[in-house]
Amino acid sequence: MKRCALALLGLLALPAAAAAQDRPLLANEPPPERLPDHRWAVTPYLGVRVPFNTGNQVIFLENGDQFRFSSERGGSGMIGLNVERQLRGPVSLVVGGAYSGREQDVLTVVALDSSVTQFELDGPAMWFAKAGVTVRLPDPIPDNRRFHPSAFVTVAPTLMWLDWASVDGAPDDFNRSSHHLGLNLGIDAVTRLGTTSGWALSLGLEDFITFWDTDALLVRDRVVGETVTGEPVSIDYDYSSSNIIALRLGVSYRFR
């Protein structure tokens, strides 16, 4: 009887032992919800450009008086498109473009006596173009997460240009667009939509580090300074770069 009982217990234990042996192998297999590798990815998106400050300008009058100007650039909506092409392993080439509309800017003027005056001005539309690389970070193994987003990091040189609205009667240079070089740093979380389609949801945060060409800004800023002060001015910039932060949400189609 004891031998029969032991044999029965052994038979009952066999499935559990087999499952215990198979569990590590199954745990190392990627879950079907995880984003698979794809050679191409096309991602249109909508986003928001966060307000930012460009820094200070020191305005000098001919009599030696000084003013300090600073501009708060208003935030705006953004629309864009990224296209990725896998190069090797987790590394892909990415090219993209984006447009962000015009909003009101706030110009703050601080005089020598520390008095503060603020003006609202029409801000520029902003266009962004980039070309660089994006790297997919390793997914955890085993992947026991409830959700299975994959993380991507992007580094890309950029070209940004300011598109000002035309002002009647202003000098031609006042209405002229200006171009500025920069560096785009971004991170994306991409999660698969379903387990069989090539569609995925992409949530991204990116920083356009813009290096301002102050010579291109000078003509327009000089006109603004002379309008505010009523006298000819010269300008000294105490900044050379700004961080333009954007949040975006897109739907990606990924395919071989």
Quick one: pLDDT at residue 102?
94
Q: pLDDT at position 6, please?
A: 47
Which band of pLDDT confidence, cut at 50, 70 and 90, is reported for residue 15? very low
Residue 207 has pLDDT above 80, yes or no: yes
Q: What percentage of the chain reaches a pLDDT higher than 70?
A: 88
Give me the sheet containing 104-110, strands edge to edge.
116-122, 104-110, 66-73, 52-61, 233-237
41 and 15 belong to one structural domain: no
User: Quick one: 75 and 179 in the same domain?
Assistant: yes
Q: What mean pLDDT do residues 236-246 have? A: 95
pLDDT band at 169 (very low <50, low <70, confident <90, very high): confident
**Do 21 and 41 fall into the same domain?**
no
pLDDT at 11 over 50: no
Is residue 107 located within the same domain as residue 228? yes
Whether 74 and 97 map to the same domain: the answer is yes
**H helices present in the chain, as ranges:** 2-28, 214-229
Q: Are residues 74 and 17 in the same domain?
A: no
Residues 23-57 have pLDDT tens digits of 444 556 788 889 999 999 999 999 999 999 988 99
CATH of the domain at 46: 2.40.128.90
Q: What pLDDT score does 48 carry?
A: 98
Across 193-206, average pLDDT: 94
Are residue 198 and residue 140 in the same domain, yes or no? yes
More confident residue, 62 or 175: 62
Do 207 and 186 meet the contact criterion of CB atoms below 8 Å apart? yes
Please state, as a whole number, how many other Cβ atoms lie within 10 Å of the Cβ of residue 102.
15
Q: What average pLDDT does the chain have? A: 88
Using a pLDDT cut of 90, give the percent of the chain over it: 65
Q: How far is 98 from 162, CA to CA, in rounded Å?
A: 12
Cα distance between residue 7 and residue 17, in whole Å: 15
Q: Quick one: pLDDT at residue 224?
A: 87
- Pair (17, 68) in one structural domain: no
- 143 secondary structure, DSSP code: -
Residue 185: pLDDT above 90?
Answer: yes
Cα(130)–Cα(96) distance, integer angstroms: 5
Regarding whether 61 and 1 lie in a shared domain, the answer is: no
3 and 48 part of one domain = no
69 and 145 together in one domain: yes
pLDDT (tens digit per residue) in 79-120: 999 999 999 999 999 999 999 999 999 999 998 888 999 999
Which range of 140-149, 182-191, 216-225 scores highest in mean pLDDT? It is 182-191
Residues 85 and 23 in one domain: no
Domain count, the chain: 2
Domain that holds residue 21: 1-30
**DSSP track, 37-102:** P-SEEEEEEEEEEPPEEEEEEEEEETTS-EEEEEEEEPPEEEEEEEEEEEEETTEEEEEEEEEE--
What is the model's pLDDT at position 28? 64
Q: Kindly tell me if the per-residue pLDDT of 22 is higher than 70.
A: no
